[in-house]
């Protein structure tokens, strides 16, 4: 019921406060260690993600290079076929109508070249689509890498703040 005998003496109160402060400091040290370990884990995780993306990005860059080289070769072939088509077209028109067999052979040659032109045009379109898809894939990976780095930076800052706060509390 609150008599003076039941109350803590100043010395006892100081002892309890000292124990309380000691435990609070111990908890703060544990919190600091946890924050440091979390910070190390964040760094390791970012390192792992980045190292995994490296070979994938290299592969994508190689695909892009190969596709661009292929595209250039296809365009060169297409231009050659167009020139050949035009040259044969000029010859075709020079053939006299009476030379039916020769005119028919020339027409077949023109038709074969036209088929090649159409196939090359289709292949060029497919290669351009592949380049676009590869670019999008690379851009997505670079965006993911950037986001991972930003998240790691934010998490590291939070860990630094937690460490600083715990140090100040001690």
pTM score of the predicted model? 0.65
CB 78 within 8 A of CB 117: yes
Q: Given a cut of 90, is residue 170 above it in pLDDT?
A: no
Specify the range with the lowest mean pLDDT, choosing from 25-29, 62-66, 88-92.
Answer: 25-29
What is the pLDDT at residue 3? 56
Q: Which residues contact 107 (CB under 8 A, 6 or more apart)?
A: 92
What is the pLDDT at residue 43? 82
User: What span, in angstroms and rounded, lies between the C-alpha atoms of 35 and 135?
Assistant: 39
Longest Cα separation, the chain: 137
Residues 132-151 have pLDDT tens digits of 999 999 999 889 888 888 88
Of how many residues is the chain composed?
170
Residues 89-135 have pLDDT tens digits of 999 999 998 999 999 999 999 999 999 999 999 999 999 999 999 99
């Amino acid at each position: 019921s609150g008599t003076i005998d039941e109350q803590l003496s100043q010395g006892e109160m100081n002892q309890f406060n000292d124990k309380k402060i000691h435990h609070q400091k111990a908890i703060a040290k544990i919190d600091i260690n946890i924050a440091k370990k979390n910070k190390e884990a964040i760094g390791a995780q970012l390192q792992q993600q980045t190292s995994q993306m490296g070979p994938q990005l290299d592969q994508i860059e190689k695909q892009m290079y190969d596709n661009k080289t292929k595209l250039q070769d296809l365009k060169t072939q297409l231009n050659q076929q167009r020139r050949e088509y035009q040259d044969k077209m000029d010859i075709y028109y020079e053939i006299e109508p009476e030379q039916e067999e020769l005119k028919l052979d020339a027409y077949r040659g023109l038709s074969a070249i036209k088929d090649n032109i159409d196939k090359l045009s289709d292949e060029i379109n497919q290669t351009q689509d592949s380049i676009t898809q590869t670019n999008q894939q690379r851009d997505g990976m670079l965006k993911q890498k950037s986001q991972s780095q930003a998240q790691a930076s934010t998490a590291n800052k939070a860990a630094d703040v937690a460490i600083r706060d715990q140090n100040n509390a001690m």
